[in-house]
Structure 1
Amino acid sequence: MLTMGPGGIEVVHCVYTGPRPSFMYPESTHSTYTLLGVEAGSFEFEIMSQRGRAAFGDLVLCPPDTLFKRKAEEDVTFHVFHFHWSMKEPPGSAHIPVGKVAIRDTERLLSTYAYLRKLQKKIGRMSSAKYLTIPLLLDLLFLCEMEREFAVKGKDSSDPIMQLAAGYIHRHLFEEISLKHIADKLGIGQSQLTRRFHSAYGSTPVEYITRLRLEEVKRLLLETDETLDAIAYRCAFESGSYLSRVFRAKIGTTPSGFRQNYRI
């Protein structure tokens, strides 16, 4: 257990799974807190008096000894934490939330998910891997607290339709993405999609897609010896030369310069 002030937090179980068409158990009750974060797909849930639908960008939290019902609406990919919280109160809050929390800072959320996926490969082989998930869990709870602060200050501007758009982008990030197709699926026009997406996430869909793809490009530059053309193909850029131009414009250096300067 990681001790923090008057108490601590202990991750009992942490898993990443999917895509899968359904949950192994449609309902369960645990002696721990449960946090379920959706990477792709969606599901219906019921916790106490709260019912709803969770999709990409949503965290669903269930307190100990409480029935958690869920039903997948489509193939779903998700992270699950079961954890004990023995602190007198969470940092900056009187309680851990119950039910769904929609996270607007999806870039930070995706970064946390990416670290969790990497750690999943080590859990079971590395005794400290579960311990390393604790700061990632705390980051997810921090994002929940930030959303609570936004709501208290009257800045709750979450847009469920745009969450669906972001979820679609995330699932198809390295494929050809048509904004018209997304808009048609959501039953809105392209201009409305762009305007509402910018309002929800601070960037247009095209900027959002490019930024996420470039994050994967940076990872591949640092962690592999793949050629720029190969990385461009994997990350849905039309060519290595086009990727190089975009990378320099957005990151401020060339891919080769980035690899040389930041590789350890």
Structure 2
Amino acid sequence: MSARIAELEIGRLPDVRMSLHLMGLHLRKVGSGWTYPSHEHPMYELHWMIEGDMTMIVEGRTYAQKKGDLLIIRPGVIHSCKSAGAQGFTYFCVHFSVSDPAFSKELERHPTACYEVSSPLVNELAPLLTDLCSLATENRKRSLSPAKNMKAYAAVLELLGTLAEQLSHSDNVVLTKKELLAGRIAEQIEASIRSSLLHGQMEDSGRKYVQDIADTLKMSPSQVNRIFQQVYGKAPRQYMSEILLSEAQRLLLQTDLSIDHIAMILGYKTSAHFSRQFKRWTAMTPSECRSGANASAPSNPAGGGD
């Protein structure tokens, strides 16, 4: 009996291929006359009150945040804030964006909302937010060590995972047949990329493009394109390109592998083909991306005022 026939998979965890951008995580105390003008940003915001009272105005709606309350603000939403008490207030703010489609979809189903300190969501998130506040305070005194940096990243991921879990429990949303099909299409795309990454070079024709996915799901290519576009807001090929781009950037910036080797891992026939495609995606070559990374990365990204 061959080794492959003897194999029996008894468990599997999902692949982790996520682009997480954190910006402006800060713990701040302000006075009674403090205000911040109307503004917007392209990231989600978690605004947690630690002490005092404040007023946040989000697209004309007023939220009165008290100690322990958590406000979740969606990207591109105009908001402003001001102190609402005689003693000022202390707050912790997290701005983030995540490229994970399932998580993004979960967040998009929920409008901007303020969760009171007694809510199940805040009860679950408060210990994680407290841990991040402690790390933020420590970082204010001196830069965090690499180990503490990783703990901060892990704490944020646990925070976002708990947030998604709590939001999914807040209502009884049932996925439609169309959403289920789009999810299966995404799984097929991800499986083809996983196969390429795990088993080495594959010819372009070996990837599960639209026709292959349509055959697997017993659908027409036009149905696959239409359903995926309606649910994910992009074509299947664009979704695949975004995953490949994310993986290409990771390999270029986080490894010392040659560009030829990266092209092979990603399934391109030649490094020239990979370089042309990468430049179409990013307007720069892979070598320009790699050489310019350190020069363009901010040493201490400034956070927003809120």
- Calculate the TM-score normalised by the size of structure 1: 0.49
Structure label with greater radius of gyration: 2
More helix by share: 2
More strand by share: 1
- Calculate the TM-score normalised by the size of structure 2: 0.43
